[in-house]
């Protein structure tokens, strides 16, 4: 194992983690505020990719694809929360089952609309190719994902930490009842957080769709990863989602490279260990 191997693998792990962050940060916030285990979250990722694909085909613009894909799925998220999930508020199991129902419907709807062929989303010229540093080469697009994730993370952190809305969200994560008691409109806040979560996941879907592809089955393929991130990082914690994504990205990458036979074990077993020591995850509070 050369130094080059470690550098490249670390970069790959980080960039995969960056993509996971886009997917999982929303899941974590939704979870924190609403205590919903959203099994349709992977579907947002997949649907975002498909909508983005259609937009690229029509307009040729990657930026438009990201924006429209994310917004369209945010609307779907709003409808799901407002019309369905809210009726079951407080029923953990009922909500989980309902999100499963939606996941199945989304899966089939995507098949109906876009067919089953796998596609990749074409990216603009400047993002193609490789960056070279000495003997090392890194795909430009992966560096781009890292930058996007860093920007999103910073914005989220500023929003949560420095704005009134952010303070309300944090209050709701800590104790929704108490927050409601002091006059915070928790239902509206929940709706906003749910929409934001769907928005981020779909954005991840479009951006990820350019190098992972857009295909049926992507929904349930990424979902466990998002869950592991959230579990490791701690529910409802933004720093948790950041650390969790990077950890999972790196573990997954090195697990596959170094212990191919046990690769998923090397991902899930440390998670079980963290849970055994800290049941609420690294940054979560009980």
If one asks whether residue 65 binds other proteins (CB under 8 A), the answer comes out as: no
CB-side neighbour CA atoms (13 Å) of 56: 22
- Which residue's CB is nearer to other proteins, number 78 or number 97? 97
Q: How far is the CB of 193 from other proteins (least distance, A)?
A: 15
**What is the 3-state secondary structure of 128-170?**
CCEEEECCEEEEHHHHHHHHHHHHHHHHHHHHHHHCHHHHHHH
The two tokens of residue 249 are 């990205």
Q: What is the total count of residues that contact other proteins (CB under 8 A)?
A: 82
Q: According to the binding rule CB under 8 A, does residue 280 interact with other proteins?
A: yes
Residue 281 backbone zone (phi > 0: left; psi -120 to 50: alpha; other: beta) = left
How many degrees, rounded to 5, is the angle at CA 123 between CA 121 and CA 127?
A: 145
| 202, 74 Cβ separation under 8 angstroms | yes
Query: Which residues in the 239-258 window bind other proteins by CB under 8 A?
Result: 252-254, 256-257
Q: How far is the CB of 127 from other proteins (least distance, A)?
A: 10
The reply on whether position 100 binds other proteins by CB under 8 A is yes
Residues 121-140 that bind other proteins (CB under 8 A): 122, 128, 130, 132, 137, 139
Interaction between residue 5 and other proteins (CB under 8 A): yes
Residue 202 as a binder of other proteins (CB under 8 A): the answer is: no
Instruction: Name the minimum Å distance from CB 162 to other proteins.
Output: 29
Q: How far is the CB of 191 from other proteins (least distance, A)?
A: 19
Distances (CA, A) of 64 to 48, 211, 232, 239, 248: 12, 17, 33, 29, 30
Task: Report, in Å, the least distance between residue 164 CB and other proteins.
Answer: 27
Residue with tokens 């109906």: 112
Among 104, 155, 167, 188, binds other proteins (CB under 8 A): 104
When asked if residue 79 is in the footprint of other proteins (CB under 8 A), the reply is: no
């Amino acid at each position: 194992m050369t130094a080059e191997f470690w550098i490249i693998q670390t970069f790959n792990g980080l960039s995969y983690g960056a993509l996971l962050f886009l997917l999982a940060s929303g899941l974590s916030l939704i979870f924190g505020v609403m205590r919903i285990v959203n099994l349709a979250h992977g579907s947002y990722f997949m649907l975002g990719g498909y909508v983005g694909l259609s937009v690229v085909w029509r307009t040729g613009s990657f930026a438009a694809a990201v924006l429209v894909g994310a917004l369209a799925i945010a609307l779907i998220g709003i409808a799901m929360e407002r019309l369905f999930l809210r009726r079951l508020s407080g029923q953990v199991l009922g909500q989980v089952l309902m999100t499963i129902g939606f996941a199945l419907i989304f899966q089939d709807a995507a098949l109906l609309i876009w067919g089953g062929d796998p596609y990749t989303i074409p990216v603009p010229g400047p993002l193609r190719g490789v960056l070279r540093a000495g003997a090392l080469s890194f795909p430009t697009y992966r560096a781009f994902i890292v930058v996007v994730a860093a920007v999103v993370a910073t914005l989220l952190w500023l929003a949560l930490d420095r704005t009134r809305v952010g303070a309300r969200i944090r209050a709701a994560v800590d104790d929704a009842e108490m927050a409601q008691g002091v006059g915070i409109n928790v239902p509206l806040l929940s709706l906003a957080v749910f929409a934001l979560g769907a928005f981020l996941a779909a954005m991840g879907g479009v951006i990820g769709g350019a190098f992972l592809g857009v295909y049926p089955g992507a929904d349930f393929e990424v979902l466990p990863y998002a869950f592991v991130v959230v579990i490791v990082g701690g529910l409802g914690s933004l720093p948790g989602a950041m650390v969790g994504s990077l950890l999972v990205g790196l573990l997954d990458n090195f697990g596959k490279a170094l212990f191919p036979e046990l690769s998923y074990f090397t991902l899930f077993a440390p998670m079980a260990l963290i849970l055994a020591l800290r049941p609420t995850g690294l940054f979560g509070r009980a």
